[in-house]
Amino acid sequence: MDISDLSLKIAKLKRKGKFLTLASFGETKIPENIIKEGEIKDEDALAKIIKEALLKVKGEKIKTKNVIVSLPEEKAFLQIIQMPKIPLEDLKSAVIYEAENYIPFSIEEVYLDSQIINPLKNHLDHYDVLIAAMPKKIVDSYLSCLQKADLTPLVFEVESLSICRSLIKNGVSPFPVLLIDFGESRTSFVIFSGYSVRFTSFISVSSKMITQAIAQALNINFEKAEELKIKYGLNIPEKIIFKKIDKNSHFEREIINKEKVFENVFPLFKDLIDQIKNCLNYYQTHSFHEHLASERKIGKIILSGGGANLKGLPEFLFQKLKVPVELGNPWVNILPEPLNEIPPLPYKESLKYATVLGLALLGVNNH
């Protein structure tokens, strides 16, 4: 179950021979202000939405009460630290002690988890350990809400880890990859290399903001702006002719100049490019614990999230960043290649499900 500010997504995988298949899935909108920047503001309202969403999934009816749930990226802290080669039974307590030097919270105020990251090559004289910290008040709020919805959380996981499990083939990359998840309320950046997440950040530029900018530029409602965004994306013709209804319910034809749209939308994409460049520069100029044969330069960019379907976006990013850009494949670790069946969830829609499919993969492979 992937819970974000404005939507709730559910997916259930099950084994089918040597491979997996999608048994159930669904998406439900969450009204504004029930969750704000990852913090649940109304547990009772969200619990009701969750109960109703479970009843409306497509595919098999969901009978289990057990669930694996995402935690908001903007509230998490992830860091790779180096630890000496000490007995594994002593490592956990040593990590907790060392983590206090890195996390920006009091150790008493967070839930802390960690895992050893295997090197891609060579045997190391130390452990690389990924630590993840999340404020207790955030996790406890999600736990309380799910219990009100009569569910039993087995695992809570930070979104970036789930996205990588979904999009990185076999969970390993010989070179650094930037994953960009274009959500409805924010955009997340995740750099993955070797066997692990290496860096995460997020910005407020979102798919919804782009639609709002189009609506403002053309003085039309949000729904019409979303329709135009889906139809044209970044490939806006010089003039757009569409019908609108005036106050007297008469149809009129209106011609929109391309420049009028870009005046409002361009600042958002400029900010997006600037933030991506900042992310890449920070990553490539800081010392991260990677043991790779190649340099630390980003080898490619993988797009996910509903906003990744914006027409012309991969070409635009490649033009501005000079890094290969491709749409992610959330089925890469689920279905065999070449695909011998078409999943019931269309490919373009599935880009929105990258996080929840990653969560489902964790569940089906470990329980």
Cβ pair 151, 179 in contact under 8 A: no
**What's the pTM?**
0.91
Q: Could you write out the DSSP letters of every residue in 298-331?
A: --EEEEESGGGG-TTHHHHHHHHH-S-EEE--TT
pLDDT in tens, the chain (367 residues): 999 999 999 999 999 888 899 999 999 999 999 999 999 999 999 999 999 999 999 999 999 999 999 999 999 999 999 999 999 999 999 999 999 999 988 999 999 999 999 887 766 788 999 999 999 999 999 999 999 999 999 999 999 999 999 999 999 998 999 999 999 999 999 999 999 999 999 999 999 999 999 888 878 889 988 988 888 888 776 665 555 555 555 444 455 566 777 788 889 999 999 999 999 998 888 756 666 545 678 999 999 999 999 999 999 999 999 999 999 999 999 988 777 677 899 988 999 999 999 999 999 987 6
The number of angstroms, rounded, from the C-alpha of 183 to the middle of its chain's C-alpha atoms is 7
Helix (H, G, I), strand (E, B) or coil at 105: coil
Q: Say how far apart CA 155 and CA 339 lie, in whole Å.
A: 30
Cβ pair 132, 112 in contact under 8 A: yes
Enumerate the H helices of 79-126 as residue ranges. Answer: 88-99
Report DSSP state, residue 357: H
Q: Under 8 Å CB-to-CB from 43, ≥6 apart: which residues?
A: 141, 144, 145, 148
The pair of structure tokens assigned to 35 is 């969750």
Beta carbons within 10 angstroms of residue 205's beta carbon: 21
